[in-house]
Each structure stands twice: as C-alpha cells, then as structure tokens.
C-alpha cells in the first residue's frame, strides 16, 4: 500500500484512525475523557476475545502474544489499585468512596496499562503515524486561528460539557475556544485540559510524526507538533523537545566505539570546567523559575506539602486519593498534583511510588537494548522519555486519555523481541 492511500484494515485500526482524526469534534463535545475510556475498554475486550478464541490453527499473523513488558505495567497498576484500597481503609473513607475511587483509577492509572496492552493487537504503526500527522495539521490551522483571535483580543469563550455527569476532573470536560489566560499570559491548550498537557501531547506527537514515511505529511506533522509545544508556553515542553532528541541520539549509539571516545572526551571537559558548568546550571535554573515565578512557587509549595503529608501521615500506603480542592496558599490546587512522583507518594505511599518506578525502569532497559537495532523500539523509547520527563511536572495518569496514541506505540514497541542468534543480534516482532 502506498503512503498516500493508508486506510484502516480491521476494527482496531478503524477505531484508532477515526478517533485520532476526529479529536477536535470530540473535544468540542467535551467527550474525550469518556470516549477514551470506552475505546480502551472495548479494544481490551476485543483483545481478550481474540486470545480466548485463538488456537494452534490460528494464522501466525493473527496470533496475539502479550509481552513481559505489558504484564509489568498491568501488575504495577494493579498494585497501585491495591494501595488505593488500603489507603481508603486506613483513613476510613467508606466502601462507597472506594468504589468511586476505583472507578477513577480505571479511567486514569488503568489506561496506562490498557493502551500498551492494546498495542499488541494487529494495529500497524503507520496508521497511527499518519492519523497523528493529520491531527497535527488540523492543530496548525487552529493555532493560526487562535493567534488571530489573540491579536484581535477576541473574548475568551468556554463551557462545560454535560458529560461531566460521568465524573472526573472538571477540566477534562471544560471546552475553551481560542486560548486561555494564565498569569496574565495568553496560552493555547487546544484539545488538552490545560496548556502544559498540550506540551506533553505535542512532544509525543513530534516523536510519532518523525516516523511518517510520506515527506509532506512528516513535515506538516512535525511543524504542527512544534506549534502545539510553543503555543502551550510550557517551559518543560519547550526544553523536553531538544532534550529527548539529544538523549535519543546518545542512547541509540551506545554500541558505536566513537561514541565511547566522545563521551570520555566530554567527561574530561566536564571535570575541568565543572565549577563553570555548575554556575551556569544554577543560573539557568534561576531564570527557568523566574520565567513564570508564580507557577514555580506554587509547584514548590505543592511538592513540600505533599512530601510532608506523605511522610508524617501515610508513608507506606498513602492517603488513598487526592482531595478535590487544596488550601488557598496553593491556589486551591490539590496536594499531590503537578508532580507524578510526589502525587503518587501522597495518594498511594511508598508502595504506589515503587509500583510506578518499576515499569518505567523495566521499560527503559528493555527498549534501550532493543533500540540499538530496532527502529520501532527507538520510537517507543523516545515516547517513554517524554512521559518520564513530564512526571516531574504533571500527574501523567490523568493525561492518559489524551496521550494514548503514544501509549499504543509503546505497546507495539514492547512486541519487539530481542534475540541473540549465533553471535548476531536480531529483533523480531511478536505476533
């Protein structure tokens, strides 16, 4: 099939394709948070049914084999659910609240495990790459419209979808046209619930658009993703883009001898100019925080409050959940928000934090080894790095419903099995 006639060939590809290119209509309906859960649930059921029905006579191309990495994510998310239940019991939150919180766990943490699992279906990665490029082109056009709206100072218009009745954070159902104002600065969030979330999606989509085979679509997708990143005015998103590019170049060339010499040379220079480098990094960090000082101060307070509450009140199992509203000193933002690691410590304790760290570490090592010889694993590794960097500024589990195309590619990358054969390294895809 030529690159200009990419079309879905089965039910999972059909749903993935039309969901991605129909993102903006769903956003205008405030339906993304609900539809992403339904999509994950249906495709998981579809996968389980195929697993149940497959036999020894099932064609190899249609057989499903779940990779160890997918199982690691599934078990880790189940451990977080167990920590959630224990935390609720320790604070006597009641059976009804346990059921409500478990439902929200499924819609947040659960999606982090389900979409990589769904990636083990017969879904071609190029379907996702092309659909993402189309969405990035749509975003590029909308960014231009929003820029004109900002220039003309058109009044901000927003509304909350009636689908909020399905529960969850209200920002997941609030629809903004054009732009939002944050600390007296206009920022874009497009189909995301808040601007930094758009920066996360933009970085993931840039990694995916890079893999598009058609040059025209590839460049349109990359430019659209960059427009999303800079339109969000997210400091982390802007830094993350070059950081992932440089990190991937280093990590995927580890086996080359000249890279070892280069690393040794750079290490020597770092040792010689260490004091100058430390001064520069401190200066950079100071400027980074001052760029949006209000946001940096609130985030620092949230981190301190989450750490203190975790250590003093619930170090092992956590509090079970984040309160819907925090104190006024942090702008009523919930304690444990704006940082995945501190948020997990606060809500699910040391048990939950370890449960989150293990799949990240496992996936990084797994994909790093395979990325030396496999292109699909390289894409998965780049997505994993983007998500990891954003764990220090966002509660990533709450954003799984908008960055799920990256999670699908992560699952496809998990299928790549690294096998040593007669001294040669080869990679195969598990069917």
What confidence score (pLDDT) does residue 218 get?
Answer: 96
Tokens 């659209």, located at residue: 224
Q: Clarify whether residues 60 and 201 are in a common domain.
A: yes
Rounded to 5 degrees, what angle do the CA atoms 48, 53, 58 make?
115
- pLDDT above 60 for 3: no
Mean pLDDT, range 159-171, rounded to an integer: 88
Give the CA angle between residues 179, 182, 184 to the nearest 5°. 100
pLDDT band at 422 (very low <50, low <70, confident <90, very high): very low
Burial of 4 (0-12, 13-18, 19+ CB in 10 A): exposed
Supply the pLDDT for residue 292: 62
What is the overall mean pLDDT for the chain?
Answer: 88
Whether 157 is in a domain gets the answer yes
* Assigned domain for 172 exists: yes
Is 227 part of a structural domain of the chain?
Answer: yes
Question: In terms of domains, do 402 and 287 share one?
Answer: no
> How remote is the C-alpha of 49 from its chain's centroid?
27
* Confidence (pLDDT) at 217: 96
Q: Give residue-wise pLDDT tens across range 170-218.
A: 889 999 987 887 767 889 999 999 999 999 999 999 999 999 999 999 9
* Per-residue pLDDT band at 280 (split at 50, 70, 90): low
**What is the C-alpha to C-alpha distance for residues 405 and 269, in angstroms, rounded to an integer?**
40
Q: Is 173 contained in some domain?
A: yes
Q: Which of 270, 291, 312 is the last residue of a domain?
A: 291
Looking at the structure, tell me whether residues 36 and 143 fall in a common domain. yes
pLDDT digits (tens, 9 = 90+) for 7-54: 899 999 999 999 999 999 999 999 999 999 999 999 999 999 999 988
pLDDT at residue 189, rounded to an integer: 92
pTM value is 0.90
| Host domain of residue 113 | 23-252+297-429
The pLDDT value recorded for residue 331 is 78
Together in a domain, 279 and 188: no
203 with 272, same domain: the answer is: no
Beta carbons within 10 angstroms of residue 414's beta carbon: 28
Indicate if 230 and 118 belong to the same structural domain.
yes
Task: Answer whether residue 52 is part of any domain.
Answer: yes
Answer whether residue 374 is part of any domain: yes
Lowest average pLDDT, out of 177-181, 366-370, 412-416, goes to: 177-181
User: Taking a C-beta distance cutoff of 8 angstroms, is the pair 101, 377 a contact?
Assistant: no
Query: pLDDT class for 290, splitting at 50, 70, 90?
Result: low
* Lowest model confidence (mean pLDDT) among 133-137, 239-243, 248-252: 248-252
Instruction: Answer yes or no: do 230 and 210 share one domain.
Output: yes
Residue 1 has pLDDT above 70, yes or no: no
The domain boundary, picked from 273, 291, 309, lies at 291
**Total domains present in the chain:** 2
φ/ψ of 154, rounded to 5, equals -70, 135
* Pair 395, 264 in one domain: no
Shared domain for 282 and 321, answered yes or no, is no
Rounded to an integer, the average pLDDT of 413-429 is 59
Task: Note the pLDDT tens digit of each residue in 45-84.
Answer: 999 999 998 888 878 777 888 999 999 999 999 999 999 9
Residue 323's pLDDT band (cuts 50, 70, 90):
confident
Considering the domain architecture, whether residues 199 and 341 belong to the same structural domain is answered as: yes
d(CA 222, CA 422): 40
| Residues 75 and 34 grouped into a single domain | yes
What is the predicted pLDDT for the residue at 229?
A: 95
Share of the chain above pLDDT 90, in %: 64
Q: What are residue 157's DSSP bridge partners?
A: 177
Question: Residue 162: is its pLDDT beyond 70?
Answer: yes
Q: Both 244 and 265 in a single domain? A: no
Is 121 part of a structural domain of the chain? yes
73-122, pLDDT tens digit by residue? 999 999 999 999 999 999 989 999 999 999 999 999 999 999 999 999 99
| Per-residue pLDDT at 296 | 79
Query: Is there a contact between 410 and 421 (Cβ–Cβ < 8 Å)?
Result: no
* 9: in domain: no
C-alpha to C-alpha distance for 364 and 389, rounded to whole angstroms: 13
Sequence-distant contacts of 288-295: CB under 8 A, at least 24 apart:
288/235, 291/235, 292/183, 292/185, 292/235, 294/183, 295/182, 295/183
């Amino acid at each position: 099939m030529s690159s200009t006639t990419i079309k879905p060939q089965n039910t999972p590809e059909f749903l993935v394709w039309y969901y991605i290119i129909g993102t903006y209509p769903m956003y205008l309906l405030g339906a993304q948070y609900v539809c992403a859960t339904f999509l994950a649930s249906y495709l998981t059921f579809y996968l389980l049914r195929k697993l149940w029905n497959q036999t020894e006579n099932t064609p190899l191309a249609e057989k499903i084999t779940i990779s160890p990495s997918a199982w690691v994510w599934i078990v880790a998310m189940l451990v977080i659910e167990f920590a959630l239940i224990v935390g609720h019991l320790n604070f006597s939150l009641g059976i009804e609240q346990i059921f409500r919180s478990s439902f929200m766990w499924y819609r947040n943490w659960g999606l982090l495990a389900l979409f990589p699992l769904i990636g083990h279906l017969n879904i071609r990665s190029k379907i996702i790459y092309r659909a993402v490029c189309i969405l990035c082109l749509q975003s590029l056009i909308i960014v231009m419209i929003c820029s004109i709206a900002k220039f003309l100072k058109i009044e901000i218009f927003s509304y909350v979808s009636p689908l909020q009745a399905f529960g969850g954070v209200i920002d997941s159902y609030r629809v903004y046209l054009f732009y939002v104002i944050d600390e007296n600065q206009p920022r874009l969030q497009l189909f995301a619930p808040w601007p930094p979330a758009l920066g996360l999606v933009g970085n993931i989509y840039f990694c995916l658009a890079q893999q598009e085979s058609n040059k025209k679509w590839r460049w349109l997708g990359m430019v659209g993703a960059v427009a999303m990143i800079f339109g969000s005015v997210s400091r982390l998103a802007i830094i993350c883009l070059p950081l992932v590019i440089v990190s991937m170049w280093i990590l995927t060339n580890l086996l080359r001898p000249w890279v070892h010499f280069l690393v040794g040379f750079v290490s020597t220079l770092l040792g010689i100019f260490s004091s100058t480098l430390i001064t520069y990094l401190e200066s950079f960090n100071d400027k980074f925080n001052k760029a949006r000082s209000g946001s940096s101060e609130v985030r620092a307070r949230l981190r301190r409050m989450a750490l203190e509450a975790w250590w003093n009140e619930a170090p092992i199992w956590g509090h079970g959940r984040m309160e819907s509203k925090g104190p006024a000193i942090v702008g009523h933002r919930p304690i444990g928000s704006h940082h995945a690691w501190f948020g997990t410590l606060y809500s699910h304790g040391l048990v939950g934090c370890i449960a989150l760290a293990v799949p990240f570490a496992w996936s990084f090592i797994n994909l790093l080894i395979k990325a030396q010889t496999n292109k699909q694993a390289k894409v998965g590794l780049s997505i994993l790095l983007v998500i990891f960097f954003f764990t220090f500024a966002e509660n990533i589990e709450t954003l799984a419903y908008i960055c799920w195309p990256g999670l699908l590619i992560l699952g496809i990358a998990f299928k790549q099995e690294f096998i040593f054969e007669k001294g040669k390294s080869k990679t195969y895809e598990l069917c």
